[in-house]
Structure 1
Amino acid sequence: MAGFEVDTVRKQFPALNEGAAHFDGPGGSQTPQVVADAVASTMVSALANRGRLTPAERRADDIVLGARQAMADLLGTDPGGIVFGRSMTQLTYDFARTLAKNWGPGDEIVVTRLDHDANIRPWVQAAEAVGATVRWLAFDPATSELDDLGPLLSDRTRLVAVTGASNLLGTRPDTQAIAEQVHAAGALVYVDGVHLTAHAPVDASFADFYVCSPYKFFGPHCGVLSASPALLNELKPDKLLPATNVVPERFEFGTLPYELLAGTTAAVDFLAGLGGTGESRRERLLSSLMLLEIHEDVLRAELEARLADLDGITLYGHAQRRTPTLLFSVAGHESRDVAASLAQIGVNAPAGSFYALEASRHLGLGDTGAVRAGLAPYTNQSDIDRLIEGVTRLIP
């Protein structure tokens, strides 16, 4: 493709033939045909436990190594530090338990009100289990910008968990600046990049741990963690006695889902082919995601302006840097009813707190949240028009 061409992109997603306008990407994107083909072809190929003796062993080994390299190219990190798991949530629980082995009374960890619960509760529970203290970083409900982290840091801080982008509001904190503060305090930073990775070029090398989920960027349902091999080598997770102690495999429990890893590589390759240029896959990924970011931001700005022009619409979150994600409510209507009304006309824009429970409560929306409209690479002008038409019907 020469530049980002949304019509060409849309043709590669069979699910779009059903006719819905999908604003539900933050909960999981639709899947291009090439990813489905990669999963299917792996499932019907000869596979075995990883090794180099038989073709089946070599195929399995090549799939794993290929997926590690693909994710390293996407994140700008070392393939030797790529860990695969069932989900970001599972990986975070595993690493929270492992890291907490070195915590105790007097130690402190910091979590934010802005984060998805998967980057809050595992740390809170791990800290409570060993008697460590949890400190909370709030955000401004009016702007959805994080408060200053500095006052919460001390020589007792062991880890700060922060989102790369809020899945509820789209806010993109300056995680690199946060990491510099955290490292200056002698602590580790754990970044939830699940929502960010689908929408912008990422260089995750600044973070001690960076996690994401391929099913948010056209891949299968699994989780990925990136860290330096040297740091991973210092950690001792609980594992089976005969399981390897080699990094990163020591953190991967049981046989890996080869078909999902093949699909993950295909998803990364698909992202690299969204119009970008460059000799290496990393260069094509950065270029393609820059084009994608522009496409999504233009549509987000239009959707936001048109919603703001309607009577009775409340928009939440006005951070300076955002993903193409809008949270809104309609006066006189429960948000779940708004989502149901939109669904009737084929517009998929769900309502809820979307597991960002602390953020929803901090906004005054309680546990029920509001309507979320998340844009994706396949979002086009027609989708925007249909959403506005559906919301307008609800306004007297």
Structure 2
Amino acid sequence: MSVTDDATTYDVKQIRRAFGGLRPDLARFDGPGGSLVPEVVADAVAGALRAGLCQRGGPSAPGLLTDEITLTARAAMARFVGLGDPRGIVFGRSMTALTFDMARTLSADWGAGDEVVVSRLDHDANIRPWVSAAERAGATVRWLEFDPVTAELGDVGPLLSDRTRVVALTAASNLFGTRPDVAAVSRAARQVGALVCVDAVHLAAHAPLDFSALGADLLVCSPYKFFGPHLGVLAADPALLERLHPDKLLPSSDAVPERFELGTLPYELLAGVTAAVEFAEECDMAAVEVHEQGLLTRLLEGLAALPEVTVHGRPRRRTPTVLLTVEGLTPLELSHRLHEAGVVAPPGSFYALEAARHSTAGEQGGVRVGISAYTNEEEIDRLLTALAHVVST
């Protein structure tokens, strides 16, 4: 399947045909919570289940097939995140679980006087694992704040010292869409010898990832955000992983990356990961980004004509993700009103609790509108029409 004819053409109609979950009666803006899955991904998962997989290793055909599925998925994810060596790809139950595991492993060497930096802008899955690990080790937590009006991140420089062990930062806010200058933060952290953990969960669905350009030491993402099945991925230089020794079962492999993968992997889901990456490559994530930004401009211009609607956050560089509220309605009430008009836009703070509390939205958050690769102009207009009707009544 080719969905781009040249650098300026993006065939959203063809992309939409790949998603069986799209329905004519619903305009879907819930992609940030998990994208729809193209049929090729569902087929890949089902095909792997039907193939009669077994454990990896051994001379049998099922074992060799399981090996092939695992190694192919590692190679696909390495391409997707821009990591040169597939041995740096770790699979886990979720990004949250992988981050907790990594925080526990790294913090074994921390003590009083050590410091970690977390961002108030982040999803809690890139905050709480580091805060909990620091508290157990007696280390100090330093908070990188953001402007509550613009949702722009502050300066990390004053928070860094030669005792900083980890800087945890999102590549894109799942609440406001803010895309911080991760590379600049990484350069500053590297000058004091700190590791940088980049949460790329939200960005991965909207733009190409480049592990080296971000300056990450650890990068985490979730395939179910970009067309794939539910599991998590951690990417790192294999040389870094070789230096770390997580808790593991004695008979399990001590090789990298297997030493970080607790228990048996969901091999059928790994087949789905490969299919999802291949689908993203065919879409061309750079073309996806251009398409989505065009729709975002259309959305923001339409929202500007509805003064009763408040858009929270005005970041200069952002994903096509907008948090909004309407005075007089709770986010849940607004979400219900939109759904009555066939528009799916969920309410809440979406686990970015610190960000919501610190923003103009408050702890209850708002209604999140997420544009995806399969969103079209008609759906944007349908959303704007529904909002206009809500505020007029």
Aligned residue in 2 for 1:14: 20
Aligned residue in 1 for 2:143: 136
1:59-107 deviation line (CA, Å, top 9, x unaligned): 1000010000000001110211000000000000000000000101000
1:222 lines up with 2:228 in the alignment:
no
Instruction: State the SS of the aligned residue for 2:172.
Output: coil
Aligned residue in 2 for 1:328: 324
1:6-26 deviation line (CA, Å, top 9, x unaligned): 000000100113631110000
Of 106, 127, 131 in structure 2, the residue corresponding to residue 120 of structure 1 is 127
Of 363, 385, 389 in structure 2, the residue corresponding to residue 389 of structure 1 is 385
Aligned residue in 2 for 1:59: 65
Instruction: State the SS of the aligned residue for 1:90.
Output: helix
Specify every segment of 5 or more residues in structure 1 that has no aligned partner in the other structure, as ranges. Answer: 275-287
Q: Distance in 2 between matches of 1:351 and 1:390?
A: 16
Q: Is the 8 A contact 2:207 2:288 kept in 1?
A: yes
Aligned residue in 2 for 1:108: 115
Q: Distance in 2 between matches of 1:357 and 1:106?
A: 27
Q: Is the 8 A contact 1:52 1:61 kept in 2?
A: no
Give the TM-score, by structure 1 length: 0.95
Instruction: State the SS of the aligned residue for 1:327.
Output: strand
Q: Distance in 2 between matches of 1:319 and 1:21?
A: 25
Q: Is the 8 A contact 1:96 1:126 kept in 2?
A: yes
Specify every segment of 5 or more residues in structure 2 that has no aligned partner in the other structure, as ranges. Answer: none
Q: Distance in 2 between matches of 1:126 and 1:314?
A: 37
Aligned-residue offset at 1:378 = 0.6
Of 96, 118, 131 in structure 2, the residue corresponding to residue 89 of structure 1 is 96
Q: Is the 8 A contact 2:114 2:163 kept in 1?
A: yes
1:315 lines up with 2:311 in the alignment:
yes
Aligned residue in 1 for 2:199: 192
Aligned-residue offset at 1:349 = 0.5
Aligned residue in 1 for 2:272: 263
Of 168, 183, 191 in structure 1, the residue corresponding to residue 190 of structure 2 is 183
Q: Is the 8 A contact 1:311 1:395 kept in 2?
A: no
Aligned ranges 1:290-301 → 2 under 5 Å = 290-301=286-297
Q: RMSD of the TM alignment (CA)?
A: 0.9
Instruction: State the SS of the aligned residue for 2:117.
Output: strand
Of 365, 372, 386 in structure 2, the residue corresponding to residue 369 of structure 1 is 365
Aligned-residue offset at 1:289 = 1.1
Amino acid at match of 1:66: T
Instruction: State the SS of the aligned residue for 1:376.
Output: coil
Amino acid at match of 1:40: A
1:233 lines up with 2:242 in the alignment:
yes
Aligned-residue offset at 1:52 = 4.6
Identity %: 57
Q: Distance in 1 between matches of 2:262 and 2:66?
A: 16
Aligned residue in 2 for 1:5: 11
Aligned residue in 2 for 1:337: 333
Of 42, 65, 68 in structure 2, the residue corresponding to residue 36 of structure 1 is 42
Q: Distance in 1 between matches of 2:192 and 2:28?
A: 43
Q: Is the 8 A contact 1:312 1:330 kept in 2?
A: yes
Number of residues of Structure 1 aligned to a counterpart in Structure 2 = 383
Aligned-residue offset at 1:305 = 1.0
